[in-house]
Amino acid sequence: MTNVGAEAIDQAWDGPWYRVRTDRFEASFLPNAGEALDAVCNVDVEVTLTADGSRWSATVFTLAEVERLMETWPRTGEGLSGRYFWCSDGLMVRDPGIESMTQVLAGLLDSGDFTQVLQRLSDE
């Protein structure tokens, strides 16, 4: 995996959250109980930027997970029976795993796209 400036300073479980702290942000992931961290393919994340303390959120999906969901939806009727996928704060990534997703977040900061992709949370 290419390093894009997200060397973890600290990473650990904190209740249901798996927190990864870098020198630029803290990402708090909410994986399913018992899910292997290198296999996470659908997860909510809250990111706090170190520079200004602003908080941002996304639901991160792998492409394979979106495909899997859409293939099950004809049976459930969701997404017009699997004809579309939409989520207001969705971020699609190629590779599963918390480490890979952390690298994507760092890459978004590097490219300047972070604030366009993630949803800003209220500072209240």
User: What is the per-residue pLDDT across 64-114, written as a single tens digit (0 to 9) for each?
Assistant: 999 999 999 999 999 999 999 999 899 999 999 999 999 999 999 999 999
- The answer to whether 47 and 26 are in contact (CB under 8 A) is yes
Distance (Å, whole) CA 123 – CA 54 = 7
- Give 114's DSSP letter: H
Identify the pLDDT of residue 6: 64
The structure's pTM equals 0.89
- In whole angstroms, what is the distance from residue 8 CA to residue 90 CA? 24
For the stretch 17-74, pLDDT in tens is: 999 999 999 999 999 989 999 999 999 999 999 999 999 999 999 999 999 999 999 9
**CA distances (Å), origin 8, targets 55, 68, 71, 115:** 18, 30, 35, 21
